[in-house]
Structure 1
């Protein structure tokens, strides 16, 4: 049984999100004992709700809401040295420079999720680039996991070929999404669904412009945004100017309600201009929501022929694709069936199995 430590970086940086969900699901799979990995979490205070809900065996506690997401929490965590005793390997969860000194002499595995700061210039929550030490992590790693072939290509293009071996290991989706569920309370009867953050490269504005063009023909169709926090003043102004403010709602749902939110959507739209993988896409497909995606390398890698596509940022083309789908129930049913079938290729158990294989290779090479 390999003893693998995970640091707390991402659990102090994210309250919710794809990267922290990935590590929670990975640890939960390893906790079953089926993959020859014993996960070790040398910390107990987290800000992340996925970890608090999904890892009860590790007895994690929530930091005070008055402190989170205060950057001093991460800095304080980085000052604590983690000894190497009792650990065969460490899997770092993000790229803070100080965490690289932890577990001296122990093999290191890192995961590259995307190249957003490098390609798009977007910065972190605290005004500094959270990927600032990515190059150092790449140099120190004994193995590099990438969550898509698209992310691998971007990484090599920006940083060059690394010395450590690279492994593409896709993310997964839990069986609860295939089971669907009731429509969550408060959601309308007929809606287009958007999930996650809305700012910057997520390109929520393109979806708003498309919905504005469609509004006269679909007066009963609402826009539901799950997650991402309340609408900003700028988003509120955009919705008001488009006449959609009364037909758009934002809500935060518990993880248990997400399968139902996807399953009851008329269409799921993911207009992001860049992703390393796009976890909501595979969740939507698993739950049977017809998926409409921006035509980008990672989203095409995940969606395959089980989704409809439009050129990223093209509101007119998105309007056309949505109108065609809304008018064609048979086509929506085709996408539902194809999406469910494709989602079966993305499971957290397979993610854990392939990740455990990477760990075993690294330890054997030492």
Structure 2
């Protein structure tokens, strides 16, 4: 079996889709089921995946200009499709996998991964041009794909219901958690936490891009309602890059920072993030909507009690190992935070159950299930002429 695997979503810093693409690509390299695998980047073939996660310069002028952004997206997508079509023009016997919503190569057996439908159910949580782009392009990709992958059963059911996809044409294949997210002792934690002025098990951690869907503002207000003794012992540490539409959120963060109740660290390295998870007293992730929810498993694998939402795919990923709350109820979030921070009986059970839950999600398992989808795809349709 020969594969063209699209890696144009891999860039630094690695976020959810980039992480999925990178980790799956590495695992696919090691499988004997593939006789050949070629990685297709934005500008052509990629030999070394690690080159894609080196720091890159970005066109900040275009990113910040609301007039140029929509035009830039259209031009960029057309360019990437042209590049893909040119480089793959002779590879008619290769299966094509698009792991980031949109296909760039047509006219052959293909698999596309759909990560969520937040542009459908939470359009207000995205820039308008992103919503328009996905409404325009995703139906075309769904119609042209031989088979689809959803990253959770929840998303699989949403795609079936909204787009009318036949159940046999879409499979749920879970993401996974990297093995460097693991419990660590105090001796290991101290030198990494010290530069952040943090002590092991004396802070509440939240990891999220600063954008509306991540529900960070409600988390901040819920944290503010906690007893002063809890907040003094466990400041809220917020990790994540700035998203869009976050002016109000930035003001709230600034207000609480002045009260010494919150530390906003912004972007941290993967190594630092792993230690921040392991050193936290608890982890909070009250997102309004997730296709999967990497941070939940990363915290569990690190031996940290988790609070998360009872919405979308998060109960599926968290299982019985997390405190589930209504993410729109600030009082419920606050009460849940108090429990994961102070109820020692709950904490012990959550740590043990979380470690076991995280062990169910490995990248080797993800790759194995993805290979099964490839085999199913090739058994239902032979390559057609481009």
Q: So what's the TM-score if we normalise by structure 2?
A: 0.82
1:310-345 CA-to-partner distances (Å, cap 9, x unmatched) read: 112111111112212322223212111100001111
* Aligned partner of 1:238 among 248, 252, 258: 252
Q: Hey, what's the Cα distance between the residues in 2 that align with 1:128 and 1:300?
A: 27
| Residue 196 (structure 2) aligns with | 186
- Listed as ranges, the matches of 1:186-225 within 5 Å are 186-189=196-199, 190-218=202-230, 219-225=232-238
Alignment RMSD, CA only? 2.9
| Residue 90 (structure 2) aligns with | 85
What runs of 5+ residues in structure 1 fail to find an aligned partner? none
Q: Is 1:17 equivalent to 2:39 in the alignment?
A: no
1:248-290 CA-to-partner distances (Å, cap 9, x unmatched) read: 2222211122221111111101111111111111111111110
8 Å contact 2:177–2:363 — kept in the other structure? yes
Q: Hey, what's the Cα distance between the residues in 2 that align with 1:260 and 1:318?
A: 25
1:145-200 CA-to-partner distances (Å, cap 9, x unmatched) read: 11111101111221123386211111101221135463443152221111121321
Q: 1:60 to 1:319 in 2, by over 3 A?
A: closer
Q: Hey, what's the Cα distance between the residues in 2 that align with 1:223 and 1:113?
A: 29
Counting matched residue pairs gives 354
Q: Hey, what's the Cα distance between the residues in 2 that align with 1:38 and 1:215?
A: 58
Instruction: Quote the offset at 1:55 in angstroms.
Output: 2.3
| Residue 6 (structure 1) aligns with | 5
What runs of 5+ residues in structure 2 fail to find an aligned partner? 64-71
Q: 1:43 to 1:312 in 2, by over 3 A?
A: closer
Q: Hey, what's the Cα distance between the residues in 1 that align with 2:34 and 2:158?
A: 32
Q: Hey, what's the Cα distance between the residues in 2 that align with 1:327 and 1:178?
A: 22
- Listed as ranges, the matches of 1:236-315 within 5 Å are 236-241=250-255, 246-251=260-265, 252-315=267-330
8 Å contact 1:141–1:164 — kept in the other structure? no
304-313 or 210-219: bigger deviation: 210-219
* Aligned partner of 1:227 among 231, 235, 240: 240
Q: So what's the TM-score if we normalise by structure 1?
A: 0.86
* Aligned partner of 2:371 among 333, 356, 360: 356
Q: 1:310 to 1:112 in 2, by over 3 A?
A: same
Q: 1:24 to 1:354 in 2, by over 3 A?
A: same
